[in-house]
Every structure is written in structure tokens, then in C-alpha cells.
Structure 1
Amino acid sequence: MRNQSFRRAAGRLVVKAACATLACAAFAGIGATAARANNIIVLNSGEATLSLIDDKTHQVIGTVPTGKEPHHLFPTPDNSSLIVANSVSNNLLFVDPKTGKPQRWIENIEDPYQLGFSPDNKWFVTTGLRLDRLDIYHYGGAGNFTIAKRLPLSAMPSHLAFTKDSNTVFVSLQVSGEIAAVDLPTQRVLWKMKVGAAPAGLWLTPGEKYLLVGMTGADYVAVVDWRNQKVVKTIQVGKAAHNFRSMVDGRHVLVSSRVSNVISIIDEESLEKVGEINGLLPGPDDMELTADKRYLWVTFRFARQIGVIDMQTKKLIKTIPVGRSPHGIYFYDRAPVMSPNGA
């Protein structure tokens, strides 16, 4: 279902230079500790802020203003900046990936909901959930984005996954229940196919053999033979299967289920569910894994909290209050993603 704030946003809301000043002033008030830390960065979509959490104490040490409805984030190819996509404010906020300190803004990036760079870093792509389109940019480095194509994709294009050769990006279309394959060099739709109710998160298995699709409108992950445009299997997980995160062991991937409040473990070789993490708060969504693979951090969108899961015991061991509707999460010292999806 479309967010009501998306319906109310009839035009572009431009964030003026004063907004950048406000964000920097807010960060300055946090103190010198924030500037030295490797902070966990959490986007509070419902409050137009990001929370900074000290990675040692697990305490919230500050809140920084963003644009309106920040949902997702992605590091620049050189990892010097973390891009926060403000979907309703139509802009990007660049922050220091270690500290969360604001660096600069780029305006007139329309409705950036999900975002990502192609593996060869030539393309920067955003989904316009509110505007029903895919925006493809040439990326010239140093924050230089030049629009290549605004491609209509109805309805509610959501998540992305890139092939390793950077030729194709897959896009989930939540309202039509489809996934689309888009050719990046020509910026055209190669094909669309039905996969089920409200597809969201996308994940390519090792060797790009299959595309996994999280069904937010159902209780399964669809396994797609994308070369032949065919669903070959469904994997039962919790209700509202949504987003993926690699376990970085070459074999397993996690999928969050926002209604059943569980995270399932899928074997990417056998394509079976082999485990489950339960006892979670409402709305598990985005996930991030520490560099040592010991702890999984999760945003709980319906609980205004994030959680820390011990991956040895598969238990939730800590929760931390943040802002309303926490969504994207990132920290600099993290395990690699090990997938063409990127961050």
C-alpha cells in the first residue's frame, strides 16, 4: 500500500542550503566523540532524521536531520561517502560513512527510494516508488550524476539487483506483482514477468543462477530462473518476506519477514529454508552484519527500535530505541555483502 505521505507529495520539495546548515549544526552539537567513532547509522524514515549509535557502547549519541522520508542508503564506489536517499525531498545527502557527519547535498534527484551503483560503477540507479519509474544516471565520480533515462515502470518499483557484468538491473514492481529486467547500456525494458503478491527484496544466488524475490504480500521467497523468465520454486518463510542479507559464508542468505517477525536462513545451493531467528520485535526489515560475522543488526520498522542478534545463538540480545520507522542501516566496519546487489 502506498504511504499516505507519498500521495500528499504532489510536487518537488526542495531542501534549501539552510537545511544543510541545520544538519551540520546538529552534528556539531553531538560532540567530538561522534567524529572519532565508527558509528552505526540508522535512517528514521518517519522523522526525517538519522540516528548515530556508538559501535562500542551501543548508545545513541546523536540525531542528525535529513531530507524527508530517508529510506535507503548506499556507499559511493570509493567508500568516502554514504548516500542517504530522501525520497519525498527529491535529494541526496552525503555523509561520512564512519561518523554520519553531513558532507554535501545533491538536489533534483527525483523520488529516490532505493538506490545503487552498477558493479562497474558506470551507472547509478534509483527507483521512484511514488513516481512509478526507474531513473538511470551516468556516474562520473565525485558525485557527478547525469541523467541517462527516466524509464516508466508501473507500478511502485521498489528494490534492485545488478548482474555482475553491469548490463542488467532487476527491479521489483510491488503493485503489479512483477519483476522487470532493464538493459543498462540501452536503458530499455528487456522483459517483465509475474512473480506474486507485492515483490520487494531481490537477491542473486552464487553464479547468478537464480534470482530470489521476497514476497511482502505473501509468506514465501520466489526462486526465478531469470534467463527463462520462470518461477521454478517457492521457499516458505514468514509472512511479508521482504529483504535479504548475505551471511558471507558462500552458501546462506537471510530474509526478513515483517509480519511474522522472523528472519529465515536460506541455503542458496539447496534452495531450502534451513533455519529461523524468532523472538523479534515487530517489523524486521534491513539487516547489517558485523565484520566478524558474529552479530546481526536489524531495523524494526514498527517498533522504533533496532536490535542486535548473536549469530552463534540466533538470539536477540539487545534492543536500542531510535526514531519513528527505522529503515536503512549501515556501519563502516561490516562484513562484505558478497552479491551483485551491492550494499
Structure 2
Amino acid sequence: MKKIDGFMVALLAGGAGLMLSATDSVLAAESSGSGQDNQGLQAKLYVTLEEPDALGIVDPKSKKGLGTVAVGGKPHDVICAPDGATAYVTNPETHNLSVVDTATDKVKKTVEFGQGTTPWHVEISPDGSQVFAALQDQSAVAIIATADNHLATKVSVTSGPWGVAAPKNGPWAVAAPRNDVVYVTLNGSITKGTANAARSEDIAVFDPTAAVPTVKYVTLAADTANGPHGIVSAPDGSAVYVAAEASHEVWKIQVDGNQAKRVVEIPDPNPAGTPLNPGFPTDLGISPDGNTLIAVNHDLDSITVINLKTHKIIETVSTGEGSAPWGALISPDGQTAYISTNGADSLAFFSMKELTDGTEGARKHTIADLPTSDGLAWCNLAQ
């Protein structure tokens, strides 16, 4: 989520306060138009661009921008289907979801949610049959059937949902991954003034394959304003990790039994002056081997790298003054961490080796002309 009231975005004019040093690798985008020739690519990195109402396309090999796809208003999040053929983009300002053909990079359908809905984060089931969109101001989760991309149903929850995770596999999945569990963080509503409030229900859990899904709830810490926001699945599906932005913590929930355990607390360098909305950490990225977690600290202009074997912080790295980082994604080969920086007109990336080698000073690189919001999605294209 952004540091906003409604949909006003705090993009710093001209990237003030984010002067790039000679050590930065600044790679300009090749084009800014849709319909570009991307033939021969094996993978794309999609980035939501809130200011131009577009989806940015990046070649992860060359680290170059390849153009944009016009979508709906203030796109926030994006997810790719397992087969790589389709990307789904939430558009909070226009209350809908764009369905993008990844072969042509064109919108092939728009799913409408209706006035009064604010679709934020989006997730897809392991088999690709369902897409889940958190409708923050309606306190519901939309389920889209991907066979024809229609709105199948909405599942009501107690408070404004923000992040969604559908574990890909699990210790129970011997023959094939199951598709019958979804986790949703309940942070409240910015527009209704209930974000980051103390509540007894932090995470909603339901079976999306049921005819009428029954919602259960998981509490992180009772009687505490946890402010759960970002959520990510462990690669083996055994757990989900939650960014609690109000209490400045990372939590782990075991899928088998839904037991919650605090992983780490991120130190607040200014405990008397840090606002709770949106706070930190706001989002999470996890390595393919499940050993490393990146927590994105919006209000601190930094990321915190966590060893999930020891539950210890490796280091905290600056993303640049005024960069307002929002989302994180680690590449499938585990070599690169991408960070969306809402306060800068660029996409940041780091070497995972430098982030995890135990030494300080990981270098930040950037891809220019990408005014990111939150969403990052890796798409392996069908060949």
C-alpha cells in the first residue's frame, strides 16, 4: 500500500533527494510505447507504474525497460499465471482488474468490481484456475475464474484486506499441489480511517474451492496494533510470512495448524517520530530456496535482509533518501532482488550475493524511467 489518502501519491518531483552516484548502474528504458517487439524473450519482469496508469515491462537479462502497457487507474499490483500466458493487474482508482496477454502485451479483458471497491494486492492459485484480489474498502476478496476471466464470487472478511497469498505446495502435497487455502492480511481501510488499528483478527484464511467459503481467522499478537500488510508464501508452501507494519515485525504462520510465531522485530531508529501509516515493513520478498527474506521498510527508505534459518537480521540497506520502497521480488535464480521505489522514477535492484554475504555496503542499481507503485511479477513466457 502507498503512503496516501485515497489515491494521492507522494512521488518526489524530479526525484529530489535521490541523486545517483557513479557506482549506480542506471539503465534507461528503450521505449515507452505498447506493442513493442519482445520476441525471443524467455522471461519478463512486470512492474506496476502508478503515475502513467501503466504496466512496465523489463527484460531481466539486460536490465532494460521494454515499454509499457496501458491499464486502469493507479495500478497497484500484478501477478503472472503459472503458464506465463497472462498477467493480472489491480487498478484501485478505476475499481477493476486488467487481464494482459503476455505474448502481445495488450489488455484482452477488464474485470469490473464496481464502485466502492479498492482492489489492492492480487494472487493466483497454484494451478492457475483462480485469481484473488483484495477489495480493501469493501472488506471482501474477489475470486476470478481464469477459464474465462469472469468474477465468480466475493468472500466477505471482517476488515479491509490488503495482501493475499496462496501457498504453492505443502508438506501434504505428495502428488500435486493443493489449491484449497488462501491467506489474506486484514489491515483495515485508509479511506475509512481504520488502517493499522488493534483487532483480534489479523489474517483471514479460507478454502476458495468451496461452494460457500467459510472464513477462519489467525491473530498475530492479541490486543496489539500489528498492522499486517504484505504476505508471501514459503517456496515449499509450508508457511506464509507476514509483514506487520504497525508493530515493525515479521511473522510466520505454519499452514499446517495455522500457528503464528514472531520471526524478527525490525529496529525503529526513530520510535517517537515514525508514523504508523503505512509504517514498516510493508512488503516481503522470499528467495527461491526459502532461506532469505527481504522486508521492505517504506518509512525508513530501506530494506532489511533476514536469515530464515537463524531468524536473524543480516543487514539493513538504504534504498535512497525519499525513495519510499514498497514491494520486493527475488528472481527465480536467486541472484537479484528487485525493489519498487514509489518515491523515485526508477526500479531498484541489488545483488543477492552482496545482500547476504555478511558484509555491509550492498550496491544499489537502478533501471530508469519506471515510476513504480508496488507490484512486481516475474513471468516465464511460453515458448
* TM-score bin (small chain): 0.7 to 0.9
| TM superposition score normalised by structure 1 | 0.77
- 1:114-133 aligned within 5 A: 114-133=121-140
Aligned to 2:301: 261
Counterpart selection for 2:319 from 255, 259, 280: 280
Superposition deviation, residue 46 in structure 1 = 3.5
Q: Counting strand residues as a fraction of each chain, which structure ranks higher?
A: 1
Q: What is the aligned-residue RMSD (CA, Å)?
A: 3.1
Aligned to 2:179: 166
1:47 and 1:246, CA in 2 relative to 1: closer, same or farther beyond 3 A? same
Counterpart selection for 1:183 from 203, 207, 216: 207
Are residue 112 (structure 1) and residue 116 (structure 2) matched? Answer: no
SS of match in other structure, 1:130 = helix
Separation in 2, partners of 1:204, 1:291: 14
Q: What is the identity, as a one-letter code, of the residue corresponding to 1:308?
A: F
Identity between Structure 1 and Structure 2 (%)? 17
Superposition deviation, residue 157 in structure 1 = 0.3
Aligned to 2:13: none
Question: Does 1 or 2 have the higher relative contact order (CA < 8 Å, sep 6+)?
Answer: 2
Superposition deviation, residue 251 in structure 1 = 2.6
- Structure 2 unpaired stretches of 5+: 9-31, 170-177, 189-196, 269-279, 356-361
Are residue 73 (structure 1) and residue 112 (structure 2) matched? Answer: no
Q: What is the identity, as a one-letter code, of the residue corresponding to 2:326?
A: D
Superposition deviation, residue 245 in structure 1 = 1.9
- 1:93-242 aligned within 5 A: 93-97=98-102, 101-110=105-114, 111-137=118-144, 139=145, 141=147, 143-148=148-153, 150-163=154-167, 164=169, 165-175=178-188, 176=197, 178-184=202-208, 185=210, 186-195=212-221, 196-205=225-234, 210-224=239-253, 231-237=260-266, 240-242=280-282
Separation in 1, partners of 2:228, 2:286: 19
1:46 and 1:154, CA in 2 relative to 1: closer, same or farther beyond 3 A? farther
- Structure 1 unpaired stretches of 5+: 8-24, 335-343
| Counterpart contact for 2:184–2:205, Cα < 8 Å | yes
Aligned to 2:12: none
Range that drifts further, 310-319 or 222-231: 222-231
1:260 and 1:27, CA in 2 relative to 1: closer, same or farther beyond 3 A? same
| Counterpart contact for 1:241–1:257, Cα < 8 Å | yes
Superposition deviation, residue 225 in structure 1 = 5.3
| Counterpart contact for 1:131–1:156, Cα < 8 Å | yes
Aligned to 2:56: 51
| TM superposition score normalised by structure 2 | 0.70
| Counterpart contact for 1:262–1:276, Cα < 8 Å | no
